[in-house]
A and B are shown apart, each in its own frame.
Chain A
Amino acid sequence: MQTYKAPLRDMKFVLHELMNEAPLPGHEEFTPELVDSILEEAGKFCAEQLLPLNASGDLEGCAIENGVVRTPAGFKAAYDAFNEGGWGGLEAAPEFGGQGAPATLAKLVEEMICATNISFGMYPGLTQGAVRALEIHGTEAQKALYLPKMISGQWSGTMCLTEPHCGTDLGLVRTKAVAQADGSYRITGAKIFISAGEHDLSENIIHLVLARAPDAPPGIKGISLFVVPKLLPDAAGEAGAGNGVSCAAIEHKLGIKASSTCQMNFDDAQGWLVGQLNRGMQAMFVMMNAARLGVATQGLGIAEAAYQGAVLYAKERLQGRALSGAKYPEKAADPIIVHPDVRRMLLTMRAYVEGSRALGMWVARRLDEANHERDEAKKAEAEEFVALLTPVVKAFFTDAGFECASLAVQVYGGHGYIRDHGMEQLLRDARIAMIYEGTNGVQALDLVGRKMPANFGRGLRRFFHPVAAFIEENKGHPVLGRAVGGFGKAFGALQLATFFIAEKALADAEEAGAAATDYLRLFGLVALGFMWLKMMKLALEKLPDAGVDAPFYQAKLSTGRFYLERMLPQVGALLAVIKAGKGALMELPEELF
């Protein structure tokens, strides 16, 4: 049995105490009181409506019959309730029926959804990505036609990128789009791995499809984006006649089994261009970047769920005695939480979760600034920050999600490996997040190959400068001074690695490729270390007057200490690996593999 209680205290801490930023233009009505009540409602909804469907959905999975996909029992009702509550349009533009909430709030709600039922979250999640792309690149008519229904959940959305022969390299897309006299296009081709491509939750499904016009230039510069509805809207804008869109099969997967992953066929389907011809990748990137942050949140959500499950078990499972002698002599055995190694696992999870949540909020806040800030310079800086951190959080959070799920299985021992407690499901569900929306290897390449060198490293400044300033400001902190000094060394390792890669990569792109994954992890560890120090500093300030909250801040200090002393030092090994260069990686001839 999985359990979940939304970590509201920590969420409020990060949002109101750690970030504590003034609302941006357009977000004024989202007062702390309103935000808190939304979080509470969301927590309740997720625990009551989504969590109970998680295990059953996994067990039942999706089914296809004559091209019709059936989601597991209870999903339709939950989907309706979800839309009833307006959760699908939380972040969407108010002019189309959304609530216009800041990303900071929306990401926390997303985390809850992912923690309780990641499969369910796929359906509205994909819709939100499509909504975002249409908001930015769609024509007014397209927006008016699609957005209100998609935001309300009446219609849902997808992203159709992958084809049988192309995943990461979208320049190879073959799906054809032939212009028609009426301005529409006829789309023909096969797409695979389409999440929510076909299902029984919504009245209509709006596909955003990457395709190539017949005379388009080869490669990535000849890809265009089209909106292709499953059912063509009629004159009144309601779902009407069928279009040439069909689902040929659904995939049988390791995890997220309640999410329908479809093979889609487009057979002379009518579609309309979104954005400019041959500029589809730019439009798609909007969705992809949003989706990458969404996937990062999946990693965080799973990690939280894993932590909660593991703590529950570690406190109630009685087995053996503490190494220092019985802690609970009245009981038949001590709970396993008395063991250092079990505590190691629990604290690792907790440090990942709370550190990632804080880092995720920093990114979300900057994302809000990128979208709502009026000062152009600040807006640009925020965009640069988000661009830099997107690959870091996508890969780091999802790696952490899988690691935490695995630790949770370990804490449960044999009971984690069987279905009853839901830990093995978390492990299976977590695995996909490291793969889709750009594998974590691709994220690492994006970081070292694109984000790092862009504008001679201007984006780096948005992260490194505030961190350096914090170190400078706090190295003499009476309590944390030493910790700050230690963190400064880790930060130095990141600076050194950045320099090393920047210099090496100039001469040899393979060197950057060889260092990429380790560099991204090093970056993530330092970023989390920064968040932990900031949280610890704040906790120290709050503790004297904390009253009943004192244990919360005390826990922050202990967990932060664990992170800084027992997790952050990994950076030393990573730096050594990075500096070893590509030699050992590239030495073995291909034929000897």
Chain B
Amino acid sequence: MAMFNKIAVIGAGTMGAQIAAHCANAGAEVLLLDIVPPGAANRNALAEGALAKLRKTEPAAFMSDDAGKRVSVGNIEDDLWKLAESDWIVEAIIERLDLKQALYGKIDAVMKEGAVVSSNTSTIPLSALTAGVSERFRRGFCITHFFNPPRYMRLLELVSAPETDKARVDDLARFIDVRLGKSVVRAKDSPGFIANRLGVYWLQGAVVEAAKAGLDVEVADALIGRPFGIPKTGVFGLVDLVGLDLMPHINASLAATLPADDAFHALNVKLPVIERMIAGGYTGRKGKGGFYARGADKSRVAIDLISGEYRPVRKPDVAEAKARDLKVIFEGTTPEARYGATVMGRTLAYAASLIPTAAERITDIDEAMKLGYNWAKGPFELIDQLGAGWFAGWLERQGMTVPPVLEAARGKRFYEVRDGRLLALHEGALTPVTRPDGVLLLADIKRAQKPLLKNASAALWDIGDGVECFEFTSKSNSLDLAIMELLGQAIARRPKALVIHNEGRNFSVGANLGLALLAANVAAWSEIETLIKTGQETYKALKYAPFPVVAAPSGMALGGGCEILLHADAIQAHAELYAGLVEAGVGLIPGWGGCKEMLARFGAHKRLPRGPMPGPVKVFEMISTAYVSKSAAQAQAALILREGDEVTMNRDRLLFDAKQKALALAENYTPPEPPKFRLPGEAGAAAFGLAVRDFHAKGMATEYDVVVAGELGTILSGGTADPTEEVDEDFVLALERAGFMRLVKREGTLARVEHMLTAGKPLRN
């Protein structure tokens, strides 16, 4: 693969700076440049300030401190010459054509042969950008449109011109895919490209119609959100996030470039209520609040679109929003249903009208909305849910035009599975949806075969070459007894290698707390103990299985979901891995071998001082504070990942990479040697106790923290272990079990669990 090891980003605004950070996350050396501020003593002030801010951004822009060190700063005047070394130059300056073109001229003068220059513009057509630049420059130029925030949004729209050097753009696209981890959607050179063209149309329509119907914003969000698989922020929550003041600018820029007959113009009206809000500083989350805000007493309020006054947030009670069949909304007669149908019906029709002018394929549009706007389903998947013919009929009944793409789909589906392969409608014919090399999706495998094993909470799949994939299928991939049972069966099959992976938003949020709380509330202690013991035994069996096990997590891997990682032979982690033993947050301790495995990891750590205490101290810090990594890189630093574990940037490539790793390990595989522990015993527990009480006295630990940390200290110290003698894994596991059972019976723990389930955050009791 062609490497882009040296990358320059020009323009240190929010997007430019964060693109720079993310390129550094990918391992590139990055140069971040901005202009010299007029009259500034420090000519690099802008880029320097941006870098300083980057280090504090939440959510974090950098995946590791090392990544932060790979970004150097400068200014476009003094450091222009450095661009000669750059493999890829990203322009992310202010959206002004004249300034961009002037900059391109300067870049053209210094850039090396074969380098790529791309613009992060979201509004200016490529044809306009390259008007007047050299032929040579044009061949290496394209648009790379990142979404905000660039590290976290998985979509990148790439626009190239016929004269662009195809090989070079393909190289870049592959780099963005594999190294930056983005899904590259090729867009046509049309206004707003794909996601924003459709997204802005959708948002604007939703806002205008809600104001027209005088609906509560909560009601609008409830209708547009969950039923359509759209994040529950819905429309108004999203505009609050984007910023109300930005919307008129985005609308104006789109309106200025869209053809006169585009449906957007009809929606592009100014709403007095919004203008008043912007004028009053109610620009959204960054301002004094937006459609949703906090009242004087900090209570949640929402704006009334008619009166423009804030009032307490009301829980929406809309029957249609609870229906499983979208047709209930489309056929509904209430004002609420009419609203949902109008907004989404128009949006879906508009999506269909964007082919082929904005996008080549329906898959591009679906991908763009799923990755750029976090929709669970793309527009064409939603139309399939209604039925293409039915939807076309609905549009006709509303007196709306049926776009040709939809017309052609009457009596068909946009997507179909035939012989286990996913097909998508393209130019009237169903054609296979292809994946890039190195992409293996469980979703594709599941279409093509029946599971090898399956129960209510998990499934086992054959992913080829003798490798099997264990998938959690429970809600939020929470872990329960059924998962342990099936995992036990999966181990007994003795495959060549096993990968533990799933394509949920999160790998696993840990044990099913709701079930555990119910069990605790009805005092089902022996069942709870059985669950703990079974988990320990199953994870242990996984660890010492006669074949290699590779865990391939993405997103959150918490509690028991982290413990299963710790028992794998290797981890192939998605870069966005948020792993940690968070049990203390709910008043518990890791009971499925988490304490044991972390003790072993720190015990084997070469840079730690000798003796029985340093290891437990590190583990204690980690578990008592419920540490969670904010990236795979951080997880590596925390020893959740070990030497030899690897990171995949693109989520879609994770399973493939994990499978390759598993196959490599399967050559001459021998199970690991069980670790032995030398633990400090009662003296260690006393030291931990002292430290915690000190934290408590200083107000850094709550009363119940002391209780939980006390149990943790006892386990990590080995209970009554003699520091001069070695103990084995089972010894530590027994301590985990006993500590867990003592805690789970306490009122303080159950209050924490309940609070986590109801409020979604830890109770500080």
Contact = CB atoms under 8 A, between A and B. Distances in A.
Interface of A: 455-458, 460-461, 464-465, 467-469, 494-495, 498-499, 502
Contacts of B517: 456-457
B110 interface: no
8 contacts: A456-B521, A456-B758, A458-B521, A461-B522, A461-B750, A495-B524, A499-B524, A502-B518
A465 B519 CA distance: 11
Interface in B521-538: 521-525, 527
Contacts of B518: 456-457, 460, 498-499, 502
A468 B518 CA distance: 14
A458 B747 CA distance: 10
Contacts of A498: 518, 522
A495 B758 contact: no
Contacts of A467: 523
Contacts of B750: 458, 461
A456 B586 CA distance: 14
A468 B523 contact: yes
Contact of A495 (B514, B522, B753, B757): B522
B-side binding surface: helix, strand, loop or mixed? helix
B523 A455 contact: no
Nearest to B516: A456
Interface string B746-758: 0000100110011
B760 to A, nearest CB: 13
Contacts of A455: 754, 758
A457 B758 contact: no
A294 B518 CA distance: 30
Interface residues of B, number: 16
A458 B754 contact: yes
A100 B559 CA distance: 52
Interface of B: 514, 517-525, 527, 750, 753-754, 757-758
Given A458-B754, A461-B521, A464-B522, 17 more contacts: A455-B758, A456-B517, A456-B518, A456-B521, A456-B758, A457-B518, A458-B750, A460-B518, A460-B521, A461-B522, A461-B523, A461-B750, A464-B521, A464-B523, A495-B522, A495-B524, A495-B527
A502 B522 CA distance: 11
A502 B523 CA distance: 15
B748 to A, nearest CB: 11
A502 B525 CA distance: 17
A494 B525 CA distance: 14
A312 B148 CA distance: 86
A465 B749 CA distance: 14
A458 B754 CA distance: 8
**Which 3 A/B pairs are nearest by Cβ-Cβ distance?**
A468-B523, A457-B521, A464-B523
Q: Which of B522, B523, B525, B758 has the most CB of A within 10 A?
A: B522
A502 B757 CA distance: 16
Nearest to B523: A468
Contacts of A458: 521, 750, 754
A456 B523 contact: no
A457 B513 CA distance: 12
Given A455-B754, A455-B758, A460 B514 contact: no
Nearest to A503: B515
A461 B746 CA distance: 11
A465 B523 contact: yes
A468 B754 contact: no
A447 to B, nearest CB: 14
A580 B13 CA distance: 64
Q: Which of B519, B524, B754 has the most CB of A within 10 A?
A: B524
A468 B527 CA distance: 13
Nearest to B750: A461
Nearest to A471: B523
A456 B514 contact: yes
Contacts of A464: 521-523
B703 to A, nearest CB: 13
Contact of A499 (B522, B754, B757): B522
B518 to A, nearest CB: 5
Given A456-B514, A456-B757, A456-B758, A468 B521 contact: no
A502 B758 CA distance: 17
Nearest to A506: B514
Contact of A468 (B525, B757, B758): B525
Nearest to A497: B522
A457 B514 CA distance: 9
Q: Which of B519, B520, B521 has the most CB of A within 10 A?
A: B521
